[in-house]
Chain A
Amino acid sequence: MREMPLISVEGVSKRFRFPRTAPDILTGRSPAAVHALNNVDLEVHRGETLGVVGESGCGKSTLARCLVRLLEPDEGLVRFDGQDISLLRPAERRAFNRRVQMIFQDPYSSLNPRMSVRQVLSEALSVHAMRQKADIPARITELLGLVRLPADAAGRYPHEFSGGQRQRIGIARALAVEPEVLIADELVSALDVSVQAQVINLLLDLQERLKLTVVFVAHDLRLVRHISHRVAVMYLGKVVEISPTEALFAAPRHPYSKALLDAAPELDPARRTCVAAARGELPNPLDLPAGCLFNTRCPFAFERCLAERPHLSNRGPAHLAACHLTDFGKPPPATIAAQ
């Protein structure tokens, strides 16, 4: 039997409503709302790295915030260790917050500018009673070593560090409470490429040593391929495909995943193409298309796609896609035999 997922997201939707305007009130219309998440289903297994990819505005960050309960879903629920996280009692909630930690995208706004590194870390350690008071200084030195910052960084304030160093302070803050899950929301997208590698390698190293489960939200496909065991592709607030990493990159089973992979610049000039894989722009998230959300841009759309929204269905071992064309991208039998 398969083991129970550590985190399971079940039919989560999240809308951000605009304030009611005078015309709304006069016409009795409900105010406009951005549909950030539309019926997301997702499972995260213990010890794995799940990559979540998609274009800007596809709801990746909203999903990350729902996972740590910074946002409450409008519909659906998130289970952690089998428990619905919206029903946690205060003490349980504190324990949940300790076990699931988020690392933020912007290293400049995610640290309190008025608190030194020592204050940040000792606050986390003492609020969650991770260490006796006397042991806190030693633990701070240990944590700084873990994220490869010098011990004398403790007395400094965030503005004295570079972006990459700040991101490592953010990681140290998350690790201070010895979490089981790290939710990394665009962990390195604000950093220089050279620094990205340092931070990513640090994360991989820590994951291995501390047996962490990681949800890695990013828009950089190469990065996600490099570090993830499984990948979920999101489009307009919905997971359209989820699969083991190599299976997805070898044979995407959803037209959007294929478009996304094809859009990534190819390093080998011989394999470059000029064919656009998806047409047009992302539809307005205020006014979602009926039927399949991708039907406005999909080169393969047919009548059923305009009427009926597809659900995730099986495409192979642990490989799900939400498309009416169940044979889309199916590798020819010969390749399967070769494997």
Chain B
Amino acid sequence: MSAGAVPIAPSAKRRRALPGTLVGAVIVLGASLALAFFPSLFAPYDPTAFDYNAIMQGPSWVHPFGTDNFGRNMLSRVIHAYRIDMQIAVFATTGPFVFGSIVGALVGYVGGWVEAVFGRVVDAVITFPFLVLVIAIVSVLGPGLRNMYIAVGVVDWVFYARLVSAEVRIQRRLDYADAARGMGYGHTRIIFRHLLPNAITPAVVYLMTDMALAILLGSSLGYLGLGAQPPAAEWGVLIADGKNFMTTAWWVSVFPGIAIVITGLGFSLAGDALADLLRVNR
């Protein structure tokens, strides 16, 4: 062999196909975010304006999603609800994701009895019915979105911590982690610069699922009157508004329900796309 540099095979430059799930996720979540940030651009009416001449009207060209018992335009109300529900999706999950990932990384890295104790704490939290616990906490703290975030945060970080700690435990045994220790790097650098980037993917994918779950939970609490408070437009609240007229005015409850389904689908697609994009090449 000559002493010259060895060229790298051109096949190393391979391109990955754009996952179809990514396209779907960008379309659905992009539209959802646009509606959340600029609802007034898209909503044809004021979502809180009463119109006693148009009460409980079915879907029509004037009111595509119909009107409710105060004559409020349902399309406008569903669109304005995007702001609160997208906010719930992000605010309820970001804190648990960040906190849980950090705790999980530390626990997985330290291992030993710390991990054993942590495992039992996780078991205890997970065996407790999530919705019941959240309802109990909100009942004590009082209804409202802020208290709902607190209640979710108390429980939800555990799931992220468990995912990340399991993954860090695998990663810390690989040679590159030993190589980093052998280089004399500090624990903080090894955990957050070397291990966590290789261990975070399952947690990021779960974050997407969790955002969809947060919207469902937020809507459930809204429906029960423990989350967003009327007259705020929130999908759970809207569904609750329509429940008394379900047989005569189905559209009041059904369209907010469809919005929940579509947004949840968007987050699921995003989760699949991220799992693809963040896959580690070995």
Contact = CB atoms under 8 A, between A and B. Distances in A.
Contact of A160 (B8, B180, B181): B8
A113 B282 contact: yes
Interface stretch (A72-80, A150-158, A255-263, A316-324): A150-158
Given A70-B182, A124-B183, A106 B175 contact: yes
A104 interface: yes
Contact of B5 (A105, A109, A150, A161): A150
A279 interface: no
Contacts of A105: 175
B1 interface: yes
Interface string B174-205: 11101111111100010001100110000000
A94 B179 contact: no
B6 A150 contact: yes
Interface stretch (A8-16, A95-103, A131-139, A234-242): A95-103
A173 to B, nearest CB: 7
A165 B198 contact: no
B175 A110 contact: yes
Interface in A116-150: 123-124, 127-128, 144-145, 148-150
A198 B2 CA distance: 10
Given A127-B185, A127-B189, A110 B5 contact: no
B280 interface: yes
The majority secondary structure among interface residues of chain B is loop
Nearest to A185: B175
B198 A113 contact: yes
Contact of B174 (A96, A109, A201): A109
A127 B197 contact: no
Contacts of B8: 150, 152-153, 156, 160-161, 165
Given A93-B184, A113-B198, A127-B184, A104 B9 contact: no
Given A94-B184, A105-B175, 8 more contacts: A70-B178, A97-B183, A113-B282, A114-B280, A150-B8, A151-B5, A156-B12, A162-B9
26 contacts: A70-B181, A94-B184, A96-B184, A97-B183, A104-B179, A105-B175, A109-B174, A109-B176, A110-B176, A110-B178, A110-B179, A112-B176, A113-B176, A113-B282, A127-B189, A145-B5, A149-B6, A153-B8, A157-B281, A159-B282, A161-B12, A162-B9, A165-B6, A165-B8, A173-B179, A177-B183
Interface of B: 1, 3-9, 12-13, 174-176, 178-185, 189, 193-194, 197-198, 280-282
